[in-house]
Amino acid sequence: MGWILEHRPAVSVVIPVFCREGTIERALASVTAQTWQDYEILVVDDGSTDRTVAVVEALGLKQLRLIRHEANRGPAAARNTAIKAARGRWIALLDSDDEWSRDKLARQLAAMQGVDAKVRGCATGFRLIRNERSSTVRLDYDSAEFRKLILFGCSVSPGATLLVERAVFDDVGLFDEDLRRLEDWDWLLRFVRRYDLTFVPDALATVYVRFVGSPDQRQAVFEALRKIRLEHLPQLATMGDRQRLRSSLLIERAAIAWRRSQMIRAAALTVVAVIIYPLRNRQFFKMLGRSVVSVLGGRHLRADK
């Protein structure tokens, strides 16, 4: 035979990275430790100015391809670059400061066996670490529940938990590179118009919350909320779904005000959001209560992912 067919891995692991010399090795170690080993790793360096590239290159991982952006273009662009270069049937997203449990890929791929043809991806529960405090988020939903849940915000941490068929991006489109924040929420809102997710409820990823809050980041959130409102509200078929999304967009604005210690504005936005859609789940009201208690106790946190 005059040629050798190139092996195409089952999974392409997509890791966008920007100035994460202190965490990228941890993320990569969690990939190489997987019990499922038929994968490639695509690390897209998005214009880092620290030692991130040197750290990645020093590991010498044979299954890894390093792609570099000359200038920072944002996480959506970095993911898109990797997805375009991916050879696997499946795309698995991993943020460069997060990590996976050893059996994450194996359990997700097992969960995709025998599912309905409309199910084209899988997400898992995750462990959330914020200010050295750990909590566990279980994702135990069916597809119909998730289509409602995603209108309340992107609470499934897709940057660390999502596994999705590569072909889906041809139908749904890539991540919106105009969005510097909330690009994963925008993409999932597009995804659920055509397809469904299945879930492994157990926490198979660890998501580390970091401190943000610069004016540029806040402005990026405002721009993303505006674009989501304009693009997705008209696509929703029922008044109830439109109210859910309108309410959630206001909650996102309230969260920004809360982190800036603009308590009156945050409270006003929250009240309007609840008036628009009062049937939010118990978890939302528990979170709201904890936030109020923390402020009254002088322990207001300014953390975000």
Q: Which of 188, 208, 228 is the last residue of a domain?
A: 208
Task: Identify whether residues 80 and 159 lie together within a single domain.
Answer: yes
CATH number for position 169:
3.90.550.10
Say how far apart CA 122 and CA 291 lie, in whole Å: 31
Task: Identify whether residues 56 and 104 lie together within a single domain.
Answer: yes
**Region 48-76 average pLDDT:** 97
Task: Identify whether residues 16 and 137 lie together within a single domain.
Answer: yes
Worst-scoring range by mean pLDDT, 168-177, 206-215, 287-296?
A: 287-296
Q: Which of 208, 223, 243 is the last residue of a domain?
A: 208
Q: Into how many domains does the chain fold?
A: 2
Task: Identify whether residues 226 and 203 lie together within a single domain.
Answer: no
Task: Identify whether residues 269 and 187 lie together within a single domain.
Answer: no
- If pLDDT is split at 50, 70 and 90, which confidence band does 5 have? low
Task: Identify whether residues 122 and 244 lie together within a single domain.
Answer: no
Task: Identify whether residues 226 and 188 lie together within a single domain.
Answer: no
Q: Which of 174, 190, 208 is the last residue of a domain?
A: 208
Task: Identify whether residues 204 and 243 lie together within a single domain.
Answer: no
Task: Identify whether residues 199 and 219 lie together within a single domain.
Answer: no
Model pTM? 0.87
Residue 296 has pLDDT above 50, yes or no: no
**Rg of the chain taking only CA atoms, in angstroms:** 20
State percent of the chain over pLDDT 90: 69
Q: What is the pLDDT of residues 176-201, one digit of tens each?
A: 999 999 999 999 999 999 999 999 99
**Residue 1 domain-assigned (yes or no):** no
Sign of CA dihedral 186, 190, 192, 193: positive
Domain range enclosing 133:
11-208
HEC secondary structure over 125-176: EEEEEECCEEEEECCCCCHHHHHHHHHHCCCCCHHHHCEEECCHHHHHCCCC
* Burial class of 118 by CB neighbour count within 10 A (0 to 12, 13 to 18, 19+): exposed
Residue 219 has pLDDT above 90, yes or no: no
